[in-house]
Amino acid sequence: MWIAVVSTVVFFAVLVLVVVTSPGWPEVKEAFFNREIFEESLPGIAEAFLTNVKIFLIAEAVILFTALGVALLRGLPGPVFFPLRLLAIVYADVFRGIPTILLVYLLGFGIPALGLPVISDPELLWGVPAEMVWGTVALILVYTAYVSEVYRAGIDSVHPSQNAAARSLGLSHRQSLRYVIVPQAVRRVIPPLLNDFIGLQKDTALVALLGVVEAFRQSQIDAAATFNFTPYLAAALMFLLITIPLTRLADWLVERDRRRRQAAGVVV
């Protein structure tokens, strides 16, 4: 362990030494690590980052339920539900296949261009700009497809004997899903769900492409005003303050689940 720690410290020390002694370091330091500009731009970027947090929280709350619905549709038994299963499969394939940035553009610029009341201008009803609404919807559509696959993997990981035992006790298929299968599946997929939501938090910056003033967009404005790239560093710091704790939480949950399985005598 100590060898690994020492070797890591030495590696990064050498890396820093190489960077700070390079010929272009003074210019890079001035362009990216200007203390005055950092301190001036940080409050505005931090305030704009609240927009990222709002989008993230709204999208996450919606995705948790819609993705579970898509996953359950894919698991419906019997030929009568084949159209619903097919619809869920097509949905997951399409929205996992379209790059998020393209969908943000398509919805953010395409839907308002239709000129439909309320839909094209949701600000009339909800007081929220259309760019923010449709950018958030694009993120929801994409991440619902990804998270539905995480849920499906969790449901499939529950041993069929669990469902058989529930049915033998008189529970219907719906009841066995609600009280037996889904609770176990959700508990098992919490770590990968957190990983997906870490990606979602970072992708909230894509709404800046539609003109929404969030952390990345505000850093662009500040960088253009100062002719300096330091505001981008401030924006990156805002995202790190969210993503690093979430990453550590995901790692802790994975380790806790591993210890529980080992204590129960389950091979991992």
* Residue predicted with more confidence, 43 or 124: 43
CA nearest to 60, candidates 195, 173, 169, 183:
195
State pTM to two decimals. Answer: 0.86
The two tokens of residue 14 are 């050498």
Helices 190-203, 130-157: axis angle to 10 degrees equals: 160
Per-residue pLDDT, averaged over 31-37, amounts to 88
Instruction: Give the SS3 label for residue 103.
Output: helix
CA nearest to 63, candidates 168, 161, 204, 207:
204
The two tokens of residue 196 are 């997906």
Distance between terminal CA atoms of the chain? 23
pLDDT at 1: 62
Domains and CATH numbers, the chain: 34-256 (1.10.3720.10)
Q: Do 108 and 134 contact (CB within 8 A), yes or no?
A: yes
Q: How confident is the model at residue 268 (pLDDT cuts 50, 70, 90)?
A: very low
Average pLDDT score, the chain: 85
E strand or H helix that includes residue 77: none
pLDDT at 4: 64
Least confident segment among 53-57, 171-175, 213-217? 171-175
Evaluate if residue 267 carries a pLDDT over 60.
no
* Residue predicted with more confidence, 30 or 8: 30
d(CA 171, CA 182): 14
Q: Do 196 and 147 contact (CB within 8 A), yes or no?
A: yes
CB neighbour list of residue 132: distance below 8 Å, 6 or more residues apart: 51, 55, 207, 210, 212
d(CA 243, CA 53): 12
Evaluate if residue 8 carries a pLDDT over 50.
yes
Most confident of 116-130, 136-150, 168-182, 248-262: 136-150
CB neighbour list of residue 176: distance below 8 Å, 6 or more residues apart: 163, 166, 167
Which stretches of 75-214 are DSSP H helices?
A: 82-97, 100-113, 123-126, 130-157, 160-168, 173-176, 182-188, 190-203
d(CA 150, CA 146): 7
Evaluate if residue 186 carries a pLDDT over 80.
yes
Evaluate if residue 266 carries a pLDDT over 80.
no
Quick one: three-class SS letters along 29-73? HHHHCCHHHHHHHHHHHHHHHHHHHHHHHHHHHHHHHHHHHHHHH
Per-residue pLDDT, averaged over 145-156, amounts to 91
Per-residue pLDDT reduced to its tens digit, 36-66: 999 999 999 999 999 999 999 999 999 999 9
Most confident of 24-28, 153-157, 248-252, 261-265: 153-157
Residue tagged 């800046």 (tokens): 208
